[in-house]
Amino acid sequence: MKVLVINAGSSSMKYQLLNMEDESVMATGLVERIGEATGKMIYKKFPDTDAEAKVERDDHVPDHRAAMHFVVEMIKDAEYGVIKDTNEVGAIGHRVVQGGDHFKSSVRVDEPVKDIIKEISPLAPLHNPAHITGVEMAEELLPGVPNVAVFDTVFHQTMPEQAFLYAIPRSLYEDLKIRRYGAHGTSHKYVAQQVAILMDKKPEDINVITVHLGNGCSMAAVKNGKCVDTSMGMTPLAGLMMGTRSGDIDPAVLAYLAEHKKMTIKEIDTMLNKESGLKGICGLNDMRDIHAKAEEGDASAKLALEMFSYRIRKYLGAYAVVLGSLDAVVFTAGIGENDDIARSMILADLDCLGIELDRGKNEGRIQEAKVISTDASRVKAWVIPTNEELQIARETVAVLNN
């Protein structure tokens, strides 16, 4: 079966066409700056050995319909296409950021499912409406092809109440569904499954801490294949220090800022989401730039790196206790896969957890799954490149086969 994976954001749309016979990528790309004066459309077909395999256009993309139109036209294009007709697409898998309390698994999309995704939108106001638009465009331009929603929150739905409830009046959970949902679930699930395969174990037989470090950063404690805790909260603002997000903070700071700086709730929210994290400490949010500045001797860049690693170490300790016993720690995403300095800072001196980093194996960018701990290390440290598109396609096939 060929599966088209769609990740629709408020002003962008990422896509990938996979052949699930062998899980190979047939075509991939991205449409950016939808609705702005000049948008960008990228299409790439595989194998991409010749330069002709890539199409790049800077042009006005008025809306998501135009974006989806570009995707559909390109995949069946006479010159660049990889299929002859859209009826060769067996299913469309949509990434959906927020499934609330409602969705415990990926689902085939029908009208009631769309209504529930819309209903949950207040919890993800930028994302869920865009996902619905993506589904509607797919229904219009690929009529008859089933759509499946794959939620970022589903993997975390196995958390027990003690982990997902906030210690605030319980009625707020019952009335407004305020609780920890977590995010990056598709990525955490993918690497947790992969590490079990690579360690020749069943997911049910191991305990893993997964560490997703991209622009957004989160960790998950995965016990016998099921998530029992994760660092992001009702929204992705909680937990680790991120590119521009603060992560955990004393909530009293918000009231203090409102009173003493006369900031509105909206201004505080923007500050915590967009002006904090690494950027708040050293003015930069891209890890590569931060390392370059730290190498020049910049104290604020060094401090940002230390704070970033320290917070992850605290969560490692906490999750090791939550799990009781630990088999592996897995790093993934942009920083997790590429940043050997960050990994070595995070895993330094962790005898207490039974993790011993092998500095040689850790060195450099890692593009294929690899152990970075010593042979003697009781707990194995891994780098496993994430593949959210493949996981979405796998879930899509599984839903339709059920």
Which residues form the catalytic set? 152
Going from the C-alpha of 255 to that of each of 44, 207, 237, 248, 251, the distances in angstroms are 49, 39, 17, 15, 8
Stretch that binds ligand ADP, among 46-54, 145-153, 311-319, 335-343 (CB under 6 A): 335-343
Pick from 135, 130, 69: nearest CA to 107: 135
Q: Which is nearer to ligand ADP, 225 or 385 (CB)?
A: 385
Strand-by-strand arrangement of the 2-8 sheet: 54-59, 39-45, 24-32, 13-19, 2-8, 89-96, 147-151, 107-108
Binding status of residue 334 toward ligand ADP by CB under 6 A: yes
Binding status of residue 335 toward ligand ADP by CB under 6 A: yes
| Parallel/antiparallel/unpaired status of strands 147-151 and 89-96 | parallel
Distance CA 83, CA 104 (A): 34
Enumerate residues 109-148 that contact ligand ADP by CB under 6 A. none
Stretch that binds ligand ADP, among 107-115, 172-180, 284-292, 316-324 (CB under 6 A): 284-292
Residue selected from 327, 339, 389, 395 as contacting ligand ADP according to rule CB under 6 A: 339
Q: Which is nearer to ligand ADP, 327 or 339 (CB)?
A: 339
Residue selected from 13, 34, 284, 333 as contacting ligand ADP according to rule CB under 6 A: 333
CB of 104 to ligand ADP, least distance (A): 25
Residue selected from 81, 216, 247, 385 as contacting ligand ADP according to rule CB under 6 A: 216
Residue selected from 84, 260, 266, 365 as contacting ligand ADP according to rule CB under 6 A: 365
CB of 214 to ligand ADP, least distance (A): 3
Distance CA 137, CA 133 (A): 6
Q: Which is nearer to ligand ADP, 247 or 334 (CB)?
A: 334
Using an 8 Å Cβ cutoff, are 178 and 165 in contact? no
Stretch that binds ligand ADP, among 9-17, 98-106, 257-265, 328-336 (CB under 6 A): 328-336
Binding status of residue 243 toward ligand ADP by CB under 6 A: yes
**Is residue 200 classed as helix, strand or coil in its secondary structure?**
coil
Stretch that binds ligand ADP, among 60-68, 212-220, 233-241, 344-352 (CB under 6 A): 212-220
Binding status of residue 242 toward ligand ADP by CB under 6 A: no
Q: Which is nearer to ligand ADP, 16 or 377 (CB)?
A: 16
Residue selected from 128, 186, 338, 391 as contacting ligand ADP according to rule CB under 6 A: 338
| Parallel/antiparallel/unpaired status of strands 217-223 and 207-213 | antiparallel
Enumerate residues 286-325 that contact ligand ADP by CB under 6 A. 286-288
Residue nearest to ligand ADP (CB): 334
Pick from 281, 283, 253: nearest CA to 269: 253
Using an 8 Å Cβ cutoff, are 279 and 285 in contact? yes
CB of 54 to ligand ADP, least distance (A): 19
Distance CA 360, CA 100 (A): 43
Q: Which is nearer to ligand ADP, 377 or 386 (CB)?
A: 386
DSSP element (H, E) containing 299: helix 299-323
CB of 365 to ligand ADP, least distance (A): 5
Pick from 31, 38, 43, 30: nearest CA to 60: 38
Distance CA 154, CA 214 (A): 20
Binding status of residue 220 toward ligand ADP by CB under 6 A: no
| End-to-end Cα distance, the chain | 15
Q: How deeply is 139 buried, as exposed, middle or buried, from its count of CB atoms within 10 A (0-12, 13-18, 19+)?
A: middle
Count of residues binding ligand ADP (CB under 6 A)?
13
Tell me the DSSP string of 96-126. Answer: ES--TTT-SS-EE--HHHHHHHHHTGGGSTT
Stretch that binds ligand ADP, among 111-119, 157-165, 202-210, 280-288 (CB under 6 A): 280-288
- Interface residues with ligand ADP (CB under 6 A) are 214-216, 243, 286-288, 333-335, 338-339, 365
